[in-house]
Structure 1
Amino acid sequence: MYDVVTSGYMSIDRIVKVDSPLKVGHTSIILNSDNTRPYYGGCPINVSYIMAKLGMNPLPLLRVGEDNDTLGFLQYLKDANVPLNGLKTIENESSSNCYIVSDRDNNHVTIFYPGAMDAKYASELPDEYFEDTRLALITVGSYNDNSEFYSKCQKHGIPIVFGTKLDYDAFPVSFLKEILLSSKIIFSNEHEREEINELMGIDEITDLFDMGKAELIVTTLGENGSECFEKTEQGIIHKKIKVCPTKSFVDATGAGDSYIAGFLYGYLNGYDTEASCQMGSVMASFIIEAVGCTTNAPDLKRFNQRLEEYKRNL
């Protein structure tokens, strides 16, 4: 049994930090010497990698190319015990890759090449991936891939977790609305929550409870922590979760994905919603302490040590 099957773009990232914002006709000085180092990521990979490090069994569904960078990427997955059953290689193509350029204020510009994850390579997914899994995580990917993944989830009755990314190429409006109404758990940040409210014509995000299948809605609030809304027979339960302190703030890239991974670890192991959110907060605190979306991902022992410290100080 897989704990969660994940969809979306994988990416081999190169992170470039510049001294000043990008401007036409202006040369920006690169600050980090590791600007050519590949970091492995992408929403489904970040979540799968972190959960595997905690001893869970996630299955990312992805396509890779035949380029040299892919060899390091596959080894990185193997080292964390991420299953590779859902991997497909595209001949004469490279894996998805991108350059993430950020300035001193942490403003980002991302340049992305879809490579093997391009929509033109999308194909039908085997039913076997969906026959024995507990949850399905939908993140940003090509519309063709998202549509196929979603249809398989519906066919096999798998509860959907939506890691909101408001990319209207990946999720055309009608499709996005359908996913929001079909998802059991919805994650977003504050900006995405406001846009969802506007898109769905609602005043509060909790209105989705009466419109669709949502049972849990979680919003991350940056340095202000997070909050969750849970639909119960007694009504809607609202909890605010404090941010977990970090040893240092280095890079916020991947923090949202790590929160999802920590939350799903708790949720799938039977913890209540508040405790699962606390686990999400703790996991995010590790990731922002190093460059890269999973560079500082902890094993279960380190994770539990910080979790206990966090809970003692609440």
Structure 2
Amino acid sequence: MKLKKIHKNEQDEPWPSSEQILCIGGANLDRKIMIKGTFQLYTSNPSSTSLQSCGGVARNVAENLGRLSRRVSLLTAVGDDAEGEFIIEQSSRYMQVLPLQVQDESSTGVYTALMNEHGEMIVATAEMEIYDQIRPSVIFENIPLIASSRLVLLDTNFSMNVIAATIQVCLEHQVPLVVSSVSASKMRKLPRNLHGVEWLVCKPDEAEAYLGLELKDDQHILDAARIFHKLGIQNVIFICGTRHVLFASQNGTHGQVPIPSVQQVIDVTGADDAFIAGMIYGITQGYPMEQVCQFGISCVDLTIQTDRTVSDTISINKLHSRFQELYGTHSQNFVFFKGVYFKKKNT
């Protein structure tokens, strides 16, 4: 398998239309190992057969969006190996995969999660050296692809320079950009100039790692949101564990959306990716922030009750149905005019 940089010319197919959603970031091989009984350090733990599937934040978000019937492409890096072939083959069912060229023999990224019998993660390891090989030049070479997109999702698997280049291109071409923090350590790779980021999705501990602050309660989290606004971010969404989601916008709008309890959690892997996909669906459909978050939570609910990182039950009908079950209202389209959301009239 030969990986090539994406570069359009007159003989190539045209760039996707503005309805296209572009996901930039990680595509890994996910391995899950389920521990039997109580996990113990420094000794052997019995486990069940490990599960293997495609993973990576950007890739998972792209698959969820593909299952929601969105037109989506994935700009990522995979190795010239069996794992890379597997990821491209499996992912191509739901998205257009655009693999970037790597300069050496780097292997495809591998994420290994150790899970307890309740489906909760104990610890995970990530082999992601391949992303260090990607340079900002590949972002600039793909400006036509980015500029033609309806919205861009960027995770923080690539280097700080690549992340900064993507933010710059989206700002210059006025393309809405959603950034996923991925983890506390990767959150630190975000530049200090965040003008061009329209939405940031992170957890409180990830915000702590970036800002160097201790966020003890919701008020501290909202204070952190104001700092992010000053750095250039339009909207910040905090996933606060299994309790609730907080959102805050530069215009002063903020709120809290409760996360309903789930009767049976089978596997939480991929929950954050599902949330981002659900919220992107809500954003592109014109919903206000509260319902954007509710769509994200509804997508999570469909995901964590399966043993898959991306649930094979995800669909537009299932998402709207779960939205109604959780929040007791029919989701309705909105239009945004002069700073106010209005419900569209039924036709």
Residue 178 of structure 1 aligns to a residue in which SS? coil
Structure with more helix by fraction: 1
Counterpart in the other structure of 1:212:
231
Task: Give the Cα–Cα distance (whole angstroms) in 1 for the partners of residues 254 and 168 of structure 2.
Answer: 32
Cα root mean square deviation, aligned: 2.9
Query: Where in structure 1 are there 5+ consecutive unaligned residues?
Result: none
Counterpart in the other structure of 2:305:
289
Task: Give the Cα–Cα distance (whole angstroms) in 2 for the partners of residues 131 and 260 of structure 1.
Answer: 21
| Alpha-carbon contact 2:109-2:127 (below 8 Å) kept | yes
Q: 1:231 to 1:167 in 2, by over 3 A?
A: closer
Counterpart in the other structure of 1:45:
59
257, 260, 274: which is aligned to 1:241?
257
Task: Give the Cα–Cα distance (whole angstroms) in 2 for the partners of residues 124 and 171 of structure 1.
Answer: 22
Q: 1:297, CA displacement in angstroms?
A: 4.9
The Cα offsets for residues 130-164 of structure 1, whole Å up to 9 and x where unpaired, read as 12113222212131532443343244232322212
Residue 307 of structure 1 aligns to a residue in which SS? helix
Q: 1:255 to 1:119 in 2, by over 3 A?
A: same
Q: 1:259 to 1:277 in 2, by over 3 A?
A: same
1:119 aligns with 2:138: no
More displaced 10-residue stretch of structure 1: 217-226 or 277-286: 217-226
State the structure with bigger RCO (CA 8 A, min sep 6), 1 or 2.
Answer: 1
Task: Give the Cα–Cα distance (whole angstroms) in 1 for the partners of residues 146 and 281 of structure 2.
Answer: 19
Count the aligned residue pairs.
301
Residue 191 of structure 2 aligns to a residue in which SS? helix
Q: 1:3 to 1:244 in 2, by over 3 A?
A: farther
Task: Give the Cα–Cα distance (whole angstroms) in 1 for the partners of residues 39 and 166 of structure 2.
Answer: 38
Task: Give the Cα–Cα distance (whole angstroms) in 1 for the partners of residues 154 and 214 of structure 2.
Answer: 19
The Cα offsets for residues 3-24 of structure 1, whole Å up to 9 and x where unpaired, read as 4322222111110122444633
Counterpart in the other structure of 2:204:
190
Percent of matched pairs sharing the same residue: 16
Letter in 2 for 1:4: I
Task: Give the Cα–Cα distance (whole angstroms) in 1 for the partners of residues 262 and 126 of structure 2.
Answer: 30
Letter in 1 for 2:146: F
Give the TM-score normalised by the residue count of structure 1.
Answer: 0.83
Query: Where in structure 2 are there 5+ consecutive unaligned residues?
Result: 1-17, 331-347
Give the TM-score normalised by the residue count of structure 2.
Answer: 0.76
The Cα offsets for residues 75-118 of structure 1, whole Å up to 9 and x where unpaired, read as 322222x122x223658554211211133573432222226x33
What is the 5 A alignment of 1:151-162?
151-162=168-179
Letter in 1 for 2:157: G
Task: Give the Cα–Cα distance (whole angstroms) in 1 for the partners of residues 299 and 205 of structure 2.
Answer: 22
Q: 1:45 to 1:94 in 2, by over 3 A?
A: same
88, 95, 113: which is aligned to 1:74?
88
Task: Give the Cα–Cα distance (whole angstroms) in 1 for the partners of residues 40 and 249 of structure 2.
Answer: 42
Q: 1:47, CA displacement in angstroms?
A: 0.9
Residue 266 of structure 1 aligns to a residue in which SS? helix
